[in-house]
Amino acid sequence: MMKYKGYIGMVEYDDEAKIFHGEVINTRDVITFEGESAKEIEQAFRDSVDDYLAWCKEDGVEPEKPYSGTFTVRISPELHGRVALAAKKEHISINKLVENALMKETALVG
């Protein structure tokens, strides 16, 4: 994975075409890039992010920020009650309990 200006690019190699291709994975907007070497794919990634930001500015559109830090999760009322009770026992908010659980689950990813 590559990071630039808060955007994360994921790259794959196409062994038939002998080319790297990638996509920014932390936005709903589609931002792609490609190159024939590691150096080219890194530059293409940065150029694509810069082009996206320039296009947004030119068109007066707010660029999609990589993740806002807010998302909605739908769970059963029973689980909601158990989560609320667990948070209360720990003297923390439900948000903090969920954040802690997600941090633990994703520790190996980031």
- Classify residue 64: in a domain, yes or no: no
- Nearest-angstrom CA–CA distance, 33 and 43: 9
Task: Summarize pLDDT for 7-25 with one digit per residue, the tens.
Answer: 999 999 999 999 999 999 9
The full length of the chain comes to 110
Residue 43 is predicted with a pLDDT of 98
- Classify residue 24: in a domain, yes or no: yes
What does residue 91 show for φ and ψ, rounded to 5 degrees?
60, 40
Does residue 43 sit in the same domain as residue 85?
A: no
Mean pLDDT score, 57-61: 94
Mean pLDDT score, 20-46: 95
Last residue of a domain, one of 59, 84, 101: 59
pTM of the model: 0.64
- Nearest-angstrom CA–CA distance, 100 and 86: 12
Residue 110 pLDDT level (bands cut at 50, 70, 90): low
Residue 9 CB neighbours (<10 A): 23
Give the HSE-up count for residue 6: Cα atoms under 13 Å, Cβ half-sphere: 9
Which residues are within 8 A (CB) of 65 and not within 5 positions of it... i.e. 6 or more apart?
6, 27
Does residue 39 sit in the same domain as residue 84?
A: no
Mean pLDDT score, 96-102: 92
Does residue 17 sit in the same domain as residue 52?
A: yes
Q: Is the pLDDT of residue 67 over 80?
A: no
b/e map 17-56, b = 16+ CB within 10 Å: eeebbbbbebbeeebebbbeeeeebbebbbebbeebeeee
Mean pLDDT score, 23-31: 92
Residue 72 is predicted with a pLDDT of 86
